[in-house]
Structure 1
Amino acid sequence: MGLIAGIRQVRIDVWSWLNYKPVFSDPRGMPNRRAFPEALASWVPADDERRLAAYKVLTGYDQNQAAELAAVVDGDAARDRREFGDPSMFVDTILAHVLGREQHITVPGAEEDAGDGEPDASTAAAQRVQDLLRDWAETELLAMRMQQTERKAVSLGDGVYRLAWNPQKRRVTLRAVDPGFYFPVIGEDDDGGEYPTRVHFAWELPEDPKRGLKARLRRITYELAPIGPATGTGVDGKGRAVRAPLTVDGPDGETTVVIGQGDIADPETGTVSRQYAWNDEPSTLTCYLTDATWELGDLKGGVDVDSLPMAAAQYATRSDGEVLDRLDLMLDFIPVIHVPNTVPPAEEHWGQSSLAKVLQVFDELQGADTDSARASATTGLPMIAISGATNNRQTYSVAPGAVFTLGETGRITTVDTSPALRELREQRHDLGERAANVARLPAVSLGTLDPSKVPSGYAMQLSLGPLDSLMGVMRLARAHKYALLLKFVQRLHLAGQHPDWAGVTPLPAELVFGPYTPTDKASVLEQVTAGVAGNVLSLETGVRMLIDAGFPIEDAADEIDRIQSRQFAAAVQLADALGNVDEVAKYLGREAPDQIEAPAVQLPPVPADTTATDQSQLADGQGPQGSGGNT
């Protein structure tokens, strides 16, 4: 039993790639308490301890502070390690590639029938939704929010968005949340890949002696649950602001619970249903929001973030006076988007950091950099041995112009450490290539490739194969998440009754990432020109290819309209084919000219002495036979 009890436990999970670090995994497989006190707080669930510790380790590498964590176990000598920002450079490079040069919101169908006059109803609806989403993205700084979240996703493995309707700004607000604050509730029988029905955001607030505040824990909770009775702001026996069900007194003195306006109660089952603006059928679910704070000293016993005592909670109050104690948001979804960096394994919820597989290589790089720094010191200021000096008590120093007085058998010997420095530099170069290969980042993507050494563009394209597969997987993990985000944005605007969104039906929308590889624009332009001219590519497809290649085209439909408005030769062919001036004008995007009727033919007057025969000839257009044929 003693031997079995002393065996080290090997824990394999989504964070096991960090098990090689003693600071992360002790003999029990748990993180070091001195290095990760926040991950091992009493309110943190046991399943999240290794996740939070892994986030801190990865942040340390990204911020050149990995040696600080290693010093907890290895001692102060670990702080002498050199860290020159290689992990941060990898993160920035992968982030730039996964996002591309630009991002575009597109709604399928918005570019159909472009340039053919007035669009049909479905196309007009798609164009309206697309324009509204793009205006919102520009106002809400979506590109910046994506940079914030995606950098967390690439470096830590997970990113989180939180959406909310802001009554003051009259629009949906989008915030990037650190994944260390994100605690989804995933039961033993739940599939981690499914959308959770209960989500917490929790973090500790430090003590504030000036304001007389103790250390506290704040938790914001979103929960999908059956629709209940209407509630209002009230105060309980302890003087806390809470929400209580609204009731009315009936004529017989009985108290009846009030349901929300527009809600329908089933008298047989007692369930309450609600018709949302974006659903065809009524729903019995709604999302409740709770924002509460606890003093850490009040958290006793085995409680975690999902089982905090509500009797000790202090609820926050919104700017409009609503107490955030299970406040009904009038939504049938949780406005939270979790973005994994990679496609999670089956039944898993968390993604994997892009640094996960190369951390050990980065440790070797730190060692090589440290050794190189030490070797360069002895190379720049070499070690010298002096024998046969005339004054043995004299202290010698190496400096330009220094003179050493030696005896007849005196000798100066120097130790050349430059070969060792050269070997260390070569080793560092090899380690850098090893890290790039493992991370699937070819030299051309890191900017370290000499263009003169590339035999052809085709060879460069082949070298980008690993990067193509990497970006394919990473963008696949994000495609559904951003489609879900844009769906939530539409629904929240409808729930907030924004006037610009009146009458809008939510439509599927997607976020298209730009190209991430070097593009030969001249070659693409030549292909599009030849394809459109040869009638093997439509103008719509050609414009889309130009946008993907990085040409400065903001809107495909507008660009097509501008192109067709100058195609006068094609308009002439269209006129010859149809013989319809209105269709030609519609093709050119112009107004058709008014049709002017030709004036009636005016015949010359007939002279009085003209005979009947001459008159008939004049009517037939013939003049009388005479001098010059004229009368």
Structure 2
Amino acid sequence: MGPTRRMLLVGLPRFLTDAWSWLNYKPVMASTYDGRPHRALGPEIQATWLPEEAVRRLAAYKLLAAYDSNQAGELAALAGNAEAAERREFGDPSSFVDTTLAHVLGKTQQIVVPGAEHAKDDEATPEAVAAAAAQERLRAWAEAELLPLRMQACERKTVLLGDGVYLLAWDPTKGRARLQTFDPGFYFPVIEDDADPGDYPSRVHLAWEIPEDPKRGIKARVRRITYELGPIEPAARPETANSSSRQGIDATADADAVMAGPGDAVDTATGRIVRAYPWAPDKASAVTCYLTDADWFLEDLRNGQTLDDFPLDKARFRERADGTTLDRLDLRIDFLPVVHISNSIADGEHFGQSSLAKVFQALDELAETDTDSARASATTGAPIIALAGSHAEVDRVTGRPKPLDIAPGSVFQLADGGRMDVLDTSSQLAELRARVEELRERAAVNARLPAVSLGTVDPSDVPSGYALQLSLGPLDSLIDAMRLARAHKYTLLLKMVQRLHQAGQVEDWPAGPPLPARLVFGPHTPTDRAAILDEVIKGVSAGVLSLETGIRMLQDAGYPIEDAREEVERIDARRTPTSPEPHESTAADEEKQHEDEKDSPADQRGGPQGDRAEAA
């Protein structure tokens, strides 16, 4: 009987395409057969409580953060690449992110409510007056909440990681809505399988793992903050008034058995509890938002529970400052106060894409070339020297020749025919430096960041302003697309701010539908302010431009003009009265002047010349 053959089943390689497949070439992103990332990206990536679809996203965030902080080599070394410890990283990814962020936000960010500019007209409509008041309230709130500063923090994460998260919460002590930014790695929306990626989820988790601290006796645990929409629960039911396990209300419940809370009512047709919110006083809603804030010990989650189905009997619920337990707390709003900012326009994905995605491999190549350049510069600055015909001093202890110490002024005695050879690597260093510039330029082109936007172009090399404008074309299209992806989200954020102030019953925020407000970003490219000022002066003087249009052009150019209409009024108030126009001479005036000259004395008509004229 011959030898037995055994069939070894080898798994076929997988071709994975998703929102983060541009990182598949990195070994740390798929170090195992099932595609799970390497543990070097963080122990929490391997946590059993994480949803399976969130593992690759969190790994991508870790990898992008490592590149941003010049730790890509350190991360690769932890993953088993020993040579990566000598990797040179000079901040090119961070430079790309900061440049993109500056262009996306522009020099200024301003809240604008359409129609507010007509509030000071002579016949201003009530709508215009209301728009101006809402605009003033929103701007005051933005100043109190340091909105530009928080936008810088959130938008930098959005540009780098592809996603950013804002959280709004009502603060009764300060009497205003508070704005907080969250790392997108803590953001876990519950998206249905058949849901549109652009739809707003009805349940969102903000969760993160808290490591253990043996010195303080704190065990490792997971904190989860959940916002979810659901039917309005009754204040009490006769059969469940003392039950703490109540989670909701049956849609077909008996209306007589339901006890509505303050300000609520029971819809007799459906048996549901309905509520009229201040922003929709004429429309009753049966939906509200619930808040749950609790933490779980990791040892209590060893049964494979994922984030969305943690055991409630093991939860330790947190309490609010007034002592209210945050266990399905009714926030008395019908929306989730969480706004997810996407860096790119949604195309079948809920999450956005990093601005470094298309140039990630170029950044790797750039770092490797920088490393080779550093090594070549070491041999160029301290060259390798070979001596022939010289006897090195011998160490009496070891019996081995001592290494030669070459310093300025060193003299070596060579025998007849001796020579000294120097290894010259300056030519290789020059080639490597040229390669670095080539890679940097190519990465800038693929990232749609022209060299002029990165500040690497000498202004004297630009032939004309028109050529400069053409070179900024790719940057214009990039910023337009990124701002388009954010426009609706910031409109939604300002809408939520108005609703939270209405729910907080602030006097200055009247009830009614919130007015549409948008966030306007300033110009993202430098402008020739002197040329625009000259253009406005000529256009207004010639009458082809109105003064209001000219003022708006100056605003767009970056002149410190807060309100266009107020600026027009100040200009009109400071204008000096114009001098009277010269009187046009007529035929009657000329005839009267001729008669006066005839009747006037000779001495009044010019002396001797007058006498000669009279004699003639």
Query: Aligned residue for 1:314?
Result: 316
Cα deviations by residue, 1:162-197 (Å, 9 ceiling, x for unpaired) = 001101111010001000000000011111211000
1:529 aligns with 2:534: no
* TM-superposed deviation, 1:547: 1.2
Tell whether 2:39 aligns with 1:33: yes
What's the offset of the Cα at 1:555? 2.3
Tell me if 1:173 matches 2:181: no
Which amino acid counterpart does residue 323 of structure 1 have in structure 2? Answer: T
Residue 412 (structure 1) aligned with residue 417 (structure 2): no
User: Shift in Å at residue 66 of structure 1?
Assistant: 0.8
Post-superposition shift, 1:288?
0.6
Q: Give the match's secondary structure for 1:406.
A: coil
CA shift for structure 1 position 567: 4.0
Which of 108, 117, 132 aligns to 2:137? It is 132
Deviation at 1:533, TM superposition (A): 3.2
Aligned residues of 1:10 and 1:29 also touching (Cα < 8 A): no
Q: Which is further off, 47-56 or 68-77? A: 68-77
Per-residue deviation at 1:505?
A: 5.0
| Shift in alpha-carbon separation, 1:356–1:53, aligned structure 2, 3 A | same
**Counterpart in the other structure of 1:147:** 152
The 2-side partners of 1:288 and 1:34 are apart by 37
* Secondary structure, aligned partner of 2:166: strand
The reply to whether residue 212 of structure 1 matches residue 203 of structure 2 is no
CA contact (8 A) 2:501 2:509 kept: yes
Distance 1:520 1:230 in 2: 64
Cα drift, residue 245 of structure 1: 9.7
CA RMSD of aligned residues (A): 2.6
- Equivalent of 1:345, from 324, 344, 347? 347
TM-score (norm 2): 0.86
Correspondence 1:419-434 to 2 at 5 A? 419-434=427-442
Matched, 1:111 2:117: yes
Matches within 5 A, 1:234-383: 257-279=258-280, 280-346=282-348, 348-383=349-384
In 1, distance between residues paired with 2:40 and 2:391?
A: 57
How many angstroms apart in 1 are the aligned matches of 2:220 and 2:293?
A: 17
User: Is the contact made by 1:95 and 1:150 (CA closer than 8 Å) also made in structure 2?
Assistant: yes
Instruction: State the 1:91 CA deviation.
Output: 0.6
Q: Distance between the aligned counterparts of 1:352 and 1:570, measured in 2?
A: 60
Moved more, 383-392 or 549-558: 383-392
How many Å separate the matches in 1 of 2:7 and 2:287?
54
My pick for the range that moved more, 70-79 or 449-458, is 70-79
CA distance 1:2–1:355, change in 2 (3 Å):
farther
Q: Aligned ranges for residues 184-199 of structure 1 at < 5 Å?
A: 184-199=189-204
Q: Distance in 2 between matches of 1:269 and 1:504?
A: 26
Letter in 2 for 1:418: S
Which residue matches 2:63? 57
Of 16, 19, 37, the match for 2:21:
16
**How far is the alpha carbon of 1:473 from its aligned partner?**
0.5
Q: 1 CA distance for matches of 2:180 and 2:142?
A: 13
1:205 is displaced (CA, Å) by 1.5
Q: What residue in structure 1 maps to residue 612 of structure 2?
A: none
- Matched to 1:77, the amino acid is E
Check conservation: 1:242, 1:325, Cα contact below 8 A: no
Change in 2 beyond 3 A, CA 1:244/1:31: closer
Distance 1:92 1:135, change over 3 A: same
Q: Distance in 1 between matches of 2:426 and 2:148?
A: 48
Partner of 1:385: 386
Q: Which moved more, 1:1-10 or 1:59-68?
A: 1-10
The separation in 1 between residues aligned to 2:324 and 2:114, in whole angstroms, is 39
Distance 1:190 1:2 in 2: 44
Alignment of 1:600-611 (within 5 A): none
2:73 aligned residue (50, 57, 67): 67
Deviation at 1:206, TM superposition (A): 1.9
1:157 aligns with 2:162: yes
- Alpha-carbon distance between aligned partners in 2 of 1:535 and 1:541, rounded to the nearest angstrom: 11
Q: 1:506, CA displacement in angstroms? A: 1.7
1:533–1:45 distance in 2 versus 1, CA, 3 Å: same
Shift in Å, 1:554: 1.9
Unaligned segments of structure 1, at least 5 residues = 247-253, 574-631
TM-superposed CA distance for 1:30, in Å, is: 2.3
Quote the Cα distance in structure 1 between the aligned partners of 2:186 and 2:579.
61
8 Å contact from structure 1 (residues 385, 414) kept in 2: yes
Q: Deviations over 1:222-271 (max 9, x none)?
A: 00111111379xxx999xx999999xxxxxxx995431222121223211
What's the offset of the Cα at 1:542? 2.2
The offset of 1:564, in angstroms, is 2.7
1:201 to 1:173, Cα distance in 2 relative to 1, 3 A: same
TM-aligned CA deviation for residue 440 of structure 1 = 0.5
Shift of the 113–495 alpha-carbon distance from structure 1 to 2, 3 Å rule, reads closer
Cα pair 2:197 2:346 within 8 Å, conserved: no
Distance 2:182 2:277 in 1: 28
The separation in 1 between residues aligned to 2:305 and 2:73, in whole angstroms, is 34
Is contact 1:242–1:323 with CA below 8 Å preserved after alignment? Answer: no
Deviations 1:303-358 (A, max 9, x none): 11111111111111111222111111111110110000111213x10100001111
Aligned residues: 560
What amino acid maps onto 1:366 in structure 2?
A
> 1:245, 1:10 → 2: CA distance?
44
* Structure 2 match to 1:612: none
Q: Which residue of 2 aligns with 1:97?
A: 103
Query: Any conservation in 1 of the 2:380–2:426 contact (CA below 8 Å)?
Result: yes
Q: Deviations over 1:55-110 (max 9, x none)?
A: 00000000101112211334332111011111011111100000000101000000
What is the CA–CA distance in structure 1 between the aligned matches of 2:561 and 2:75, rounded to whole Å? 48
Secondary structure at the aligned position of 2:508 is classed as helix
Q: List per-residue Cα deviations over 1:436-493 (Å, max 9, x = no partner).
A: 0111000110000111110000000000011001001100000001011001000100
Label 1:439 to 1:11 Cα distance change in 2 as closer, same or farther (>3 A). Answer: same
Distance apart, 1:117 and its partner CA: 3.5
Q: Partner of 1:498: helix, strand, or coil?
A: coil
Specify the SS of the correspondent of 1:111.
helix
Shift of 1:523: 1.5
Kept after mapping to 1: 8 A contact 2:41/2:62:
no
Residues 2 and 125 (structure 1), Cα distance of their counterparts in 2 relative to 1, 3 Å cut: farther
- Hey, what's the Cα distance between the residues in 1 that align with 2:412 and 2:109? 69
Shift of 1:536: 3.2
Give the residue type in structure 2 aligned to 1:517. Answer: T
- Of the structure 1 ranges 259-268 and 188-197, higher mean CA displacement relative to structure 2 is found in 259-268
**Partner amino acid for 2:480?**
G
Which stretch has the larger CA shift, 263-272 or 129-138?
263-272
Inter-CA distance 113–142: structure 2 relative to 1 (3 Å threshold): closer
AA of the residue aligned to 2:504: G
State whether residues 119 and 132 of structure 2, in contact with CA within 8 Å, keep that contact through their aligned partners in structure 1.
Answer: no
Is contact 2:293-2:327 (8 Å) kept? yes
Paired residues for 1:607-622 under 5 Å: none
Instruction: State the AA in 1 paired with 2:454.
Output: L
Deviations 1:88-136 (A, max 9, x none): 111111000000001010000000264x446321111010000000000
Q: Give the aligned residue type for 2:47.
A: A
Query: C-alpha displacement at 1:302, in angstroms?
Result: 2.5
